[in-house]
Structure 1
Amino acid sequence: MLTDIVSPDKILLHQSVSDWQQAITVAAKPLLDSKYIYPEYITAMIDAVKNYGPYIVIAKGVALAHARSEDGVKSMGLSIMTTKDPINFGNPENDPVKIIFCLAAPDPTTHLDVMRSLVNVINENWKIEQLSKIDNIEQFISILNKFEQNA
């Protein structure tokens, strides 16, 4: 499921970012460039973390950046970014973040299959470690697909 909706142009590897706000902005850029989201969706994702805390850090080393569909989603999309250096979001249990998944869901239910697939990929820390070290997009997709199929 993840590899069905994530094309190579939606994957950014080893990006240098200075803080969590820039991390969200950079991770969302492929969705913005492909017109899956409006610019205000990025602002809404950042504002949600400012208002509600780092709830988007959903597992050790993993953030799932998202906001409400009415905040600027045009169509279903997912982008993935790994960081050159891990970033702290303020979640003492799961920081620092090495991989950011940026989800754009056009309604409250369309993304549920994507979420199930994502849980299968991030359910073990060694998978995140392996994905975060890959520096080739085709290899990243191949390993992501393998993790998804073996779940």
Structure 2
Amino acid sequence: MLTDWINETNLNMVTHVEGWQQAVAIAVQPMVEAGAVEPRYLQAIYDMHREIGPYYVLGEGIAMPHARPEEGVIKTALSLLIISEGVSFDSPDNDPVYVVFALAAVDSHSHIEMIASLSQLFCEEETVGKLRSARTKQDVLAILSQF
């Protein structure tokens, strides 16, 4: 269940961010604070974005920034940022992004269940809309508890 990974401490809700970099920084910060990733993990995401573009924008309105395990992952973790105004990630087909799940995985196998739950959520456009319009953390957690 996604609520096994997302709780009030690693869920942030904001109205506005100054750009994709700030969105990613806010999304990754709870993982740094929890000791799940080293601070350099954020820079690795920025570097990959600059090299190959917004590889982690997965669909309309949704992004999942992540970097390779060797870029500072200490333990598998997930965090969530909801941006009610949305923000451009330079992904014309999918901008603006409102829902940002930051992911850190220690390897390519340990987080398969988490990815399966996320992909189920991503396939339901209505759910992304509900997350976008949620007003409280409790509302978001109630939506996530279905996956």
Structure 1 and Structure 2 fold alike (TM over 0.5) = yes
**Matched residue type, 2:69:** S
Tell me by how many angstroms 1:15 deviates. 4.6
Tell me by how many angstroms 1:107 deviates. 1.1
The unaligned stretches of length 5 or more in structure 2 are none
Report which of the two has the higher share of helix.
Answer: 1
After TM superposition, what 4+ stretches of structure 1 lie above 6 angstroms from structure 2? none
Matched, 1:96 2:68: no
Q: How far apart are the structure 2 equivalents of 1:13 and 1:83?
A: 6
Aligned position for 1:82: 82
Aligned position for 2:126: 126
Q: How far apart are the structure 2 equivalents of 1:132 and 1:144?
A: 12
Identity %: 32
Tell me by how many angstroms 1:84 deviates. 3.2
**Matched residue type, 1:128:** V
Does the 8 Å CA contact 1:14/1:135 hold for their aligned counterparts?
no
Structure 2-normalised TM-score? Answer: 0.95
For residues 35-66 of structure 1, give each alpha carbon's deviation from its aligned partner in whole angstroms, at most 9, with x where no partner exists.
11100000001111111111110011000010
Q: How far apart are the structure 1 equivalents of 2:5 and 2:38?
A: 19
Tell me by how many angstroms 1:16 deviates. 2.5
Aligned position for 2:32: 32
Spell out the pairing of 1:1-151 with structure 2 (5 A cutoff).
1-146=1-146, 148=147
Root-mean-square deviation over aligned CA pairs: 1.1
Task: State the SS of the aligned residue for 1:81.
Answer: strand
Tell me by how many angstroms 1:126 deviates. 1.6
**Matched residue type, 1:129:** G
